[in-house]
């Protein structure tokens, strides 16, 4: 039985499905939702905005809060609680760097649609990268 699961989330439907999958299939596990901000893009918008902040951690937490609110609402539907963590930078690298603290990663098959082509060009598909490089099992949810 798994006791610690990491669920990387953005604002995509696939990420929401990944959290639902983890909640349904691992009812006894502690689930941590990770949201990574400062994702590289062609215009470097969010990353540049964060770089200009006086308190980087606080700015990242503010950007992550809408995703965490959605995740908490989903967990509440299952009468569960979740832990949350904020990462800064490259999503796949953040997941891989944290993976040793968990027994598995449950990730959505695709991230947010708004900038998928740009992100795939610059950083690759997060689920694909994590599945290839994580030191623990990875479940990819469609």
Tens of pLDDT along 49-103?
A: 565 667 888 989 999 999 999 999 999 999 999 999 999 989 999 999 999 999 9
Q: What percent of the chain has pLDDT over 70?
A: 79
Query: What pLDDT is stored for residue 51 in this prediction?
Result: 58
Whole-prediction pTM value? 0.85
- The structural domain count of the chain equals 1
pLDDT at 135 over 80: yes
Residue 121's pLDDT band, with cuts at 50, 70 and 90, is: very low
Largest CA distance in the chain: 44
Residue 5's pLDDT band, with cuts at 50, 70 and 90, is: very high
Nearest 10 degrees: CA dihedral of 112, 82, 24, 114? 0
Which domain does 47 fall in, by range? 4-141
**Under a CB-based contact definition with an 8 Å cutoff, are residues 100 and 136 in contact?**
yes
**Bridging pattern class, strands 104-108 and 4-8:** parallel
């Amino acid at each position: 039985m798994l006791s610690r699961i990491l669920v990387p989330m953005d604002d995509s439907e696939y990420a929401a499905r990944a959290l639902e999958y983890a909640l349904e299939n691992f009812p006894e596990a502690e689930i941590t939702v990770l949201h990574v901000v400062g994702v590289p893009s062609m215009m470097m918008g969010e990353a540049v905005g964060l770089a200009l902040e006086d308190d980087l951690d606080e700015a990242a937490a503010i950007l992550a809060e809408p995703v965490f609110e959605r995740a908490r609402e989903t967990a509440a539907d299952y009468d569960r609680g979740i832990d949350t963590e904020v990462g800064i930078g490259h999503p796949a690298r953040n997941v891989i760097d944290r993976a040793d603290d968990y027994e598995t990663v449950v990730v959505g098959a695709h991230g947010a649609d708004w900038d998928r082509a740009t992100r795939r060009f610059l950083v690759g598909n997060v689920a694909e990268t994590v599945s290839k490089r994580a030191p623990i099992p990875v479940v990819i949810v469609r």
